[in-house]
Amino acid sequence: MSVNLTVGEKEFFPGIGRISFEGPDSANPLAFKHYDENRVIAGKSMKDHFRFAIAYWHSFCGNGSDPFGPGTVDFPWEVPGDPIQTAKGKLDAAFEFITKLGVGFYCFHDRDLAPEGKTVAESEKNLKELAALAKQKQEASGVRLLWGTANVFSHRRYTNGAATNPDFNVLPHVAAQVKAAIDATIALGGDNYVFWGGREGYYSLLNTNTKREIDHLGAFLQKARDYGRKAGFKGTFLIEPKPMEPTKHQYDFDSATVIGFLHKYGLEKDFKINIENNHATLASHTFAHEVQIACDAGLFGSLDVNQGDPHNGWDTDEFLTNLYDATHLMLVLLQNGGIGRGGMNFDAKRRRSSTDAEDLFIAHISSMDTLARGLIIANEILEKSDYLKMKESRYASFDTGDGAKFESGKMGLEELAALAGKLGEPKQISGKQELYEMIVNQYIR
């Protein structure tokens, strides 16, 4: 089954054709068992439920290196000493992979698409050149850009922060990169533009003025929004929360923190939230929790789909294969209007030891199938079981009478308190958690 990449070949994934749906009994690792893009579930095709996207940085830039050793896979599009040629070959490989997998979207950082130049102007020229080529690829294939972003965390100048850097002299560089990345996103018709604040946080409170730093972040995002709108960006700006890593404490900790931040700085009309499973678990939440909280605030934007390792505490960016996570996620999405203008970006990397070219396909296929199963299961739970009725009935006492009066804000504390004596001790009502869990498991089949 293993397929080797050969340097110099035009086709970078030879021997692998368009991945097709073969059904649950197929034993072919290079086929979908559950993801059937045109199958309609709850009134929408699977393709539209997910709007899958490929993450440029992991799939075409991550070569398996880790802090203990160098990369384990060679990229046949690499031309030593010529970063522009390498970027062009990478673009060919990316679109070959995306179209063979049959995915509709991709996402990139500026530096994934085009190399940093020796000057700000050269970096911008590189990005423009590669974005123009990406546009041709998009037009030829029908693949679209889910979101673009700027990598303002890798370069050493961002060591102490990007927009939250205590040194003002760093901020113009952040602005230059963000402006150019917004321009590229507009040129490529991106539906969203992401801000992930990897260095927007601190390592030690002893040397940090958190108020000034967070104010600077708010002001910077206002100006970025204003520029984007002026330049014609009609999509959604997204903040991607993460509680830590690389900084000890990141300001965009979780959905709830970002919701408060967006309202405080008047950004809530233009920005929404991009939620990542492994970031949720680092914040001691579940993926479903983070999505639910964002939906409740009307600020759910998009997803970075992956999973962490339950036994260690950092961002391992594994491909999501946990069927429970997928089912819980899809239960929340189906009850809250779905993915909208967002999508499911595979912010995930194959393991360092997965060194065959086909492993990149298998990783994505497996995760797409997991999410498809999650969708099918969640939809059955909602359509066939008593789940929804049970959940609604827990709140039935707020539907009429005094409960409804309180919920509509028409009952003061004195009136509410007086009811205690009148109603007496409330009857004990079971939360039935085990029954809910039983129902979920009953439909995982």
Among 37, 96, 213, 304, which residue sits at the site for Co ion (rule: CB under 5 A)? 304
Site for Co ion in 209-268 (CB under 5 A): none
Report if residue 347 touches Co ion, rule: CB under 5 A.
Answer: yes
For the question of residue 279 being annotated catalytic, the response is no
Catalytic residue of the set 112, 191, 252, 270: 112
Q: Is the dihedral of CA 203, 206, 207, 209 positive or negative?
A: positive
List the catalytic residue out of 34, 49, 58, 109.
Answer: 109
Query: Of 208-216, 249-257, 297-305, 385-393, which segment contacts Co ion by CB under 5 A?
Result: 297-305
- Which of residues 294 and 377 has its CB atom nearest to Co ion in the complex? 294
Count of all residues that appear for the chain in the document: 445
Interface map 117-146 toward ligand XUL (x if CB under 6 A): ------------------------------
Per CB under 6 A, which of residues 237..266 are in contact with ligand XUL? 240, 242
Binding mask 341-380 for ligand XUL (x = CB under 6 A): ------x---------------------------------
Measured from the CB of residue 3, what is the shortest distance to Co ion in angstroms? 28
Question: Which tokens sit at 122?
Answer: 């050269």
- Is 109 assigned a catalytic role? yes
Q: Pick from 304, 325, 358, 369: which binds ligand XUL (CB under 6 A)?
A: 304
Which CB atom, from 200 or from 315, has the smaller least distance to ligand XUL? Answer: 315
Binding stretches for Co ion (CB under 5 A): 276, 304, 347
The set of catalytic residues is 109, 112
Binding stretches for ligand XUL (CB under 6 A): 109, 149, 194, 196, 240, 242, 276, 304, 315, 347
